[in-house]
Chains A and B, each alone.
Chain A
C-alpha cells in the first residue's frame, strides 16, 4: 500500500519566514503529486499539481518540487504571511491495482504564521 508521509506535522513561525514542507512517498511509479490547502472546517483547495514528467511548479510565493528518485516532494512558501495559516496536504497519485488511480493523502502539516 502506498504510504505518504508529511513532515513536520505542525509548524509555528513568525511572519516573513521562508518555509519548507516535506512530503515523502514509497512508490516511485507516480503519475502526479498535488498540494492542497485546507482551512478549518473547509474543503481542500488545490495549490499546485506536478506531473511525473515535471520537476517543479510555481504559483506566486509557492514553489513545489518533485524528486521521483528519492520519493519526495517539497513545498516552499516564501515570505510567509498570517493568511497562510492552514493545513497543507500532499496527495500522491499513481497506478494502483485494478487500473484505478487513487490519490493517497498524507496527514498534513498544520501551519500557523503569527504576526
Chain B
C-alpha cells in the first residue's frame, strides 16, 4: 500500500483481556519497528524486525508483550492480560533498509479500563 496501515485505530480493553494490534507496512519494506508512546512522551522502542526475523526485542516491557511477523510483511503486536499501565498509543514504522528513513502508521490508541 501507499503507507503504513495500523488497525484497529482505537481499542478499549478491560483489564486482563488479551489484545492484538496489527501493522501492515509499506510493500517491500524490510525493516519494521514497534513503538509505545505514552501521553506527552516521545515514542519508546519496543521491538524490531528485519523481514521475518525479530532482531531486537529489548524494549518489550514484560513477557506479556509478544510480536511476530511470520511472512516478513504484516506484523502483530500481542499484549496478554492487559494492565492499566499498558494504555498508550502503539506506533508501527517501516523502512526499506537499515539506514534509510522510515514511515509511521497512524497508531493504535489502547485504553485499558
Contacts and interface: CB of A to CB of B under 8 A. Distances in A.
The number of chain B residues touching the other chain, given as a range, is: 20 to 34
Nearest to B35: A105
Contacts of A46: 101-104
A101 B101 contact: no
Interface residues of A, number: 28
A108 B99 CA distance: 22
Interface stretch (B14-22, B40-48, B60-68, B71-79): B40-48
Contact of A107 (B35, B41, B45, B93): B41
Residue of A34, A36, A44 with highest tally of chain B CB at under 10 A: A44
Contact of B99 (A6, A32, A89): A32
A37 to B, nearest CB: 11
B41 A93 contact: no
A49 B101 CA distance: 6
Interface string B69-113: 000000000000000000000010100001111111111010000
A104 interface: yes
A98 B102 contact: no
A38 to B, nearest CB: 9
Given A103-B33, A103-B45, A107-B42, A98 B104 contact: no
A9 to B, nearest CB: 10
A102 B102 contact: no
B42 A43 contact: no
B33 A108 contact: no
B98 A43 contact: no
Interface in A41-57: 41-46, 49, 51
A102 B48 contact: yes
A4 B42 CA distance: 10
Interface of A: 4, 6, 31-32, 34, 36, 41-46, 49, 51, 89, 93, 96, 98-108
